[in-house]
Amino acid sequence: MGVEDRGGSGSSRGLGLDAYVYVVLMVALGSTTAAAAKIATREWPLALLPFVRYGISGLCLLPFVRDRGAFGRMFRQDWPLVLLGAALCVPVNQAFFLSASRLGPTSHVGIFYATAPLIVLVVAWLTRMERPDLGRLWGVLASVGGIAVIGLGNLWAAGGTPAAEVRSVVTADLLLIGAVVSWGVYLAISKPLVERHGAIPALAATFLLGSLLCAPMAAWTFPSWPPFSHYSSTAWFTLAFLGVFITPVSQACQNLAMRLMDASQVANFSNASPLLTVVWGIWLFSEPLTLYLVLGGLLTMGGIVWTGWPRGVDATDDEAIVQAIPEPSFWRGGQVDEVPLGKVLS
């Protein structure tokens, strides 16, 4: 199952089965990240996790990069964008995300990350990667409103919580703001890299460079790490789960989806992840299923459907935006030299 270019805009054309397979896998796998990170941060040093996780993930993606010359072209043509994307995706985002995962509840991670589509949408509009679409904005706002309902319900039910725990949750929430902003900007600026150089090459370069950017902090904190023999089997399993499976596969599906959809569409589909994160919380951490979760979940899913629904757009407007993206040198008659989904998952 190959990937065909759609001119960088999913809103102006009907979406094929590939696009929905990618976003479903992205959502299903991505929803487990917060729970796995919370378990991993109980034992692993925060400076070590992103270095190892993204280094392993980048290496896992290398065999699926069929056009090895894509790396050279990427760094020659777009090195500032690659460097910025790698910094935002790995050291910056993970510093906020992992710290918040250690301090706060898993459900809050999903709630805050649901606001990422707003950031993606604004950045995409400001950089003229997407044409402003008021209808899509209402869909994003509806989905974020659903997550807000869940968040307010959680806060309302937290009456009588000890002050120290409240401070920890508030600190985690503030850290999550930084995590969401950095992730939203990364997702928006990665769209041109995916368009020009391919989904898998762009992702592998981002992961490997981001891991290298984390190396100085990992080396600096190395003397304070416990011996590796002290880590439990659960800690090793979650690290492998994040580095070998969840991160490379879910993010590969995200980048592949961005070849077929707008960045804001992909980001808004990811709003389904918090709903699954709630499911994992109920199963793993015995969190209650409340009316707020049901109402917020329905509103979120409604926003996702509205935003992803195909709508007619003037082709000339779309083409003006697409023409702003230089045609990559490996373009061959409208076909993208990309890795089939089956090989990505094998």
Q: Is residue 49 part of a domain?
A: yes
pLDDT in tens, 1-35: 334 333 344 444 456 778 888 888 888 888 888 88
Report the distance separating Cα 132 and Cα 124, nearest Å: 9
What is the rounded end-to-end Cα distance, in angstroms, of the chain?
13
Q: Is residue 8 part of a domain?
A: no
Question: Contact, 325 vs 5, CB < 8 A?
Answer: no
**Residue 326 has what pLDDT?**
37
Q: Is residue 102 part of a domain?
A: yes
**Residue 172 has what pLDDT?**
84
Q: Which of 135, 80, 158 is nearest to 306 (CA)?
A: 135
Structure tokens at 117: 């589509």
Q: Is residue 137 part of a domain?
A: yes
Q: Is residue 4 part of a domain?
A: no
Q: Is residue 114 part of a domain?
A: yes
pLDDT in tens, 62-95: 998 888 788 999 999 999 999 999 999 999 999 9
Which residues sit opposite 4 in a β-bridge? 335
Structure tokens at 310: 């195909």
Confidence of residue 190 (pLDDT cuts 50, 70, 90): confident
pLDDT in tens, 192-236: 898 899 888 999 999 999 999 999 999 999 999 989 889 999 999
Report the distance separating Cα 9 and Cα 32, nearest Å: 28
Cβ burial 124-145 (10 Å sphere, 16+ → b, else e): bbeeebbbebeebbebbbbbbe
Question: Which uninterrupted H or E stretch holds 249?
Answer: helix 247-257
- Phi and psi based region of residue 314 (left: phi greater than 0; alpha: psi -120 to 50; beta: remaining): beta
Q: Is residue 227 part of a domain?
A: no
Report the distance separating Cα 179 and Cα 86, nearest Å: 14
Q: Is residue 92 part of a domain?
A: yes
CB atoms inside a 10 Å sphere around CB 301:
16
Global pTM exceeds 0.75: no
pLDDT in tens, 124-169: 777 776 777 777 778 778 877 887 787 677 667 666 666 677 677 7
How many domains is the chain built from? 1
For residue 307, give its domain range: 17-219+233-326
CA distances from 119 to 1, 32, 123, 298 (A): 32, 22, 6, 22
